[in-house]
């Protein structure tokens, strides 16, 4: 792991990733394989891990892609199918003390991007060559999926987060609001959505506002204390330590996004959700927090808990 601070790069940790969770004969005691792969640095105050974990994202993606298929909840919104249940993901987890950050009482912005080589040549052997190009980025969850039109997704993913002014109208006039109104006659505000610009591009005043510059970064106000009893609906439920102020593994970002696009911050509080309220497996109470991946032997992909 390399830390870049004040223009200087320093390798702060090295380690190996555990093998994927194949099954009880090939990879017995998978938790200990994980624990052994955690690299510690900063004199033990910081940790890093890279390897396979359970996919902590949860949602009924099959239903959502079928014309949103919004479930109008009545307080009990359970019953959706967790499309990601049983799947693993490759995870990079990093834990650093807040005290070590320059903005310890301020708001930080976080995003990630993926680069690949410009050219892939397929044949007897497959070869990648050419310059590295950015093909994907992520700050706030679901911006790519919910806000950016299909024809512009490649361009949007190739840009840096601070290029967002080019896409402003898709935030102020979200396509999803128009779609759910057309399909379900919900009365979500379709224009003048400065509330979404605040939530996704500048931060919300008195919560995590970082100035007028538009940028899709995940903003986290480090001055807000850790919530003892987190709500899966985060800020929408009065729990200011959840998305859109940072993002915890248990935050129900699909329900939050649907309700935010539905106009929650403009007073249109629609009981929207996909019916999946939590991950199919419990998180760990210690680093790297993301649950152990299901083994290939167990193979429970897509099955509900």
Task: Provide the binding-site residues for Ca ion, judged by CB under 5 A.
Answer: 54-55, 252, 254-255, 274, 276, 279-280
Cα gap 235→205, rounded to integer Å: 13
Given the complex with Ca ion, which of 190 and 274 has the nearer CB atom? 274
Q: At its nearest, how many Å lie between Ca ion and the CB of residue 112? A: 19
Given the complex with Ca ion, which of 83 and 171 has the nearer CB atom? 83
Half-sphere exposure of 103 (CA within 13 A, CB side): 12
Nearest to 86 by CA among 226, 295, 262: 295
133-to-115, 137, 176 alpha-carbon distances in Å? 5, 12, 29
Given the complex with Ca ion, which of 216 and 274 has the nearer CB atom? 274
> Residue 185 contacts by C-beta under 8 Å, 6 or more apart in sequence?
none
Q: At its nearest, how many Å lie between Ca ion and the CB of residue 64? A: 10
Tokens encoding 37: 């792969």
Given the complex with Ca ion, which of 139 and 141 has the nearer CB atom? 141
Given the complex with Ca ion, which of 191 and 303 has the nearer CB atom? 303
Q: At its nearest, how many Å lie between Ca ion and the CB of residue 222? A: 27
Nearest to 73 by CA among 234, 231, 262: 262
Q: At its nearest, how many Å lie between Ca ion and the CB of residue 304? A: 11
Q: At its nearest, how many Å lie between Ca ion and the CB of residue 255? A: 4
Q: Angle at Cα 236 formed by Cα 232 and Cα 241, nearest 5°?
A: 65
């Amino acid at each position: 792991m390399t830390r870049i601070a004040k223009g200087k790069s320093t390798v702060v940790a090295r380690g190996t990733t555990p093998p994927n969770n194949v099954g009880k004969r090939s990879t017995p005691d998978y938790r200990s394989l994980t624990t052994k792969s955690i690299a510690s640095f900063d004199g033990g105050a910081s940790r890093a891990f890279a390897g396979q974990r359970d996919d902590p994202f949860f949602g009924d993606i099959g239903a959502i892609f079928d014309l949103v298929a919004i479930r109008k909840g009545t307080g009990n919104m359970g019953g959706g199918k967790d499309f990601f249940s049983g799947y693993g993901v490759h995870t990079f987890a990093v834990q650093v003390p807040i005290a070590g950050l320059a903005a310890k009482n301020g708001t930080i912005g976080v995003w990630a991007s993926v680069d690949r080589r410009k050219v892939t040549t397929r044949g007897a052997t497959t070869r990648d060559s050419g310059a590295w190009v950015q093909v994907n980025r992520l700050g706030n969850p679901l911006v790519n999926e919910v806000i950016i039109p299909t024809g512009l997704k490649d361009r949007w993913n190739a840009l840096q987060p601070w290029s967002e002014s080019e896409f402003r109208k898709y935030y102020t006039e979200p396509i999803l609001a128009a779609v759910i109104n057309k399909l379900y006659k919900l009365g979500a505000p379709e224009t003048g959505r400065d509330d979404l610009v605040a939530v996704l591009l500048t931060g919300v005043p008195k919560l995590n506002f970082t100035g007028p510059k538009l940028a899709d970064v995940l903003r986290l106000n480090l001055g807000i204390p850790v919530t003892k009893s987190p709500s899966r609906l985060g800020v929408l439920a009065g729990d200011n330590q959840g998305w859109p102020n940072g993002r915890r593994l248990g935050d129900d970002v699909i329900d939050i996004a649907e309700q935010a696009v539905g106009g929650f911050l403009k007073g249109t509080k629609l009981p929207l959700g996909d019916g999946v309220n939590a991950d199919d497996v419990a998180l760990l109470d210690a680093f790297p927090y993301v649950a152990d991946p299901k083994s290939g032997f167990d193979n429970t992909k897509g099955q509900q808990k």
